[in-house]
């Protein structure tokens, strides 16, 4: 079993989940601080970089066949990450205009993105239900 290869296969999802934890921690320590937006943007760009790197690879299995990466799953990950990045860029100005500066929104967006990445690479029905 190749644990490092399995983790590398799900790296965009891991990056977004860890960044979600970081954003929630930042919000708990410094409420209303602008750094949560920047951590979210930076982590999505890094995850997008790793997602684009796996675009040209053939479809491979990870986690004992539960997830796949490369091929169409990598394309789905890139589309999800681009949409999330666009959503985060648009939401920053909107949240400031309605005076709703709660940064938990970014944590929820990152956790939802991690779940969508997991769904895009699901190869087995049980991983789809998890």
Q: Residue ranges per domain, the chain? A: 3-129
* pLDDT tens sequence across 29-65: 887 778 888 999 999 999 999 999 888 888 888 877 7
pLDDT at 86 (0 to 100): 95
What are the tokens at 35? Answer: 């750094």
27: left (phi over 0), alpha (psi -120 to 50) or beta: alpha
pLDDT band at 114 (very low <50, low <70, confident <90, very high): very high
Say yes or no to pLDDT of 109 above 90: yes
DSSP 8-class letter at 122: B
pLDDT at 1 (0 to 100): 63
| Average pLDDT for the chain | 86
**Rounded CA gap, 121 and 56, in Å?**
15
């Amino acid at each position: 079993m190749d644990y490092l290869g399995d983790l590398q296969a799900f790296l965009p999802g891991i990056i977004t989940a860890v960044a979600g934890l970081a954003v929630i921690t930042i919000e708990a320590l410094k409420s209303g601080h602008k750094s949560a937006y920047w951590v979210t943007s930076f982590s999505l760009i890094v995850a997008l970089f790793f997602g684009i790197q796996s675009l040209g690879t053939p479809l491979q299995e990870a986690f004992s066949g539960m997830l796949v990466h490369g091929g169409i799953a990598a394309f789905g990950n890139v589309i999800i990450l681009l949409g999330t990045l666009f959503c985060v860029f648009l939401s920053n100005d909107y949240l400031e205009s309605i005076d709703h500066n709660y940064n938990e929104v970014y944590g929820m967006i990152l956790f939802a993105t991690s779940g969508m990445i997991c769904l895009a690479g699901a190869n087995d029905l049980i991983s789809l239900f998890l």
